[in-house]
Amino acid sequence: MRRFCVQVVEKRGHEKPAVFTLRPDTRMTLTCDDDMTLTCYIGGEPRPQVTIMKGIKDITTSSRMLKECFGEYVRLTLKRVNMDDQGTYFIIAKNIYGTDRAFVTLKVRERVRSMSPLSWSERTVSLNSLFNESRRRASPSWRSATSLYSNFSSMLE
């Protein structure tokens, strides 16, 4: 004959199980190096413990994870997401009277190469090619203006 051990908890009037009163968005799409911020409201008495998992790994104490709790308001931030962070996360709120879960699926996109300003040499090359093209197509009055530019740009070199 098997014996089972059952924990009996007497519930008083003011104790409440952990419950999400406002859940985070279920889907997010971010760009590499952005921060993933999940906000939610979690109720319960005693105050629930909050953990965040990716798969079977608890990432609550990861060096890139920041957890902030203010009353029922909870903000979880994963700093500088990368392609490896893509996937499904679940937030667990748990106290002695119950457990609640919320799921979030994260999609991460590669960062598009920024349109950084051109260097001085690249700008000069672009201007020269622009003026050379306009000189080739220009009317005689514009040809004198482009020749002035050519003389001026040669003094800068």
Q: Is residue 95 within 8 Å of 48, Cβ to Cβ?
A: yes
In the chain, the N- to C-terminal Cα span, in Å, equals 96
Instruction: Say if residue 148's pLDDT is above 60.
Output: no
Q: Is residue 52 within 8 Å of 76, Cβ to Cβ?
A: yes
Q: Coil, helix or strand for 143?
A: helix
Domains of the chain: 16-109 (2.60.40.10), 120-156 (no CATH)
Distance CA 93, CA 17 (A): 9
| Each residue's pLDDT tens digit, 8-29 | 556 566 799 999 999 999 999 9
Distance CA 152, CA 157 (A): 9
Strand runs (DSSP E) across the chain, as ranges? 16-22, 27-31, 36-45, 49-54, 57-58, 65-70, 73-78, 87-95, 98-109
| Each residue's pLDDT tens digit, 86-116 | 999 999 999 999 999 999 999 999 987 766 6
Q: Which residue has the higher pLDDT, 31 or 138?
A: 31
Give residues with Cβ within 8 angstroms of 62, minimum separation 6.
78
Q: Which residue has the higher pLDDT, 8 or 62?
A: 62
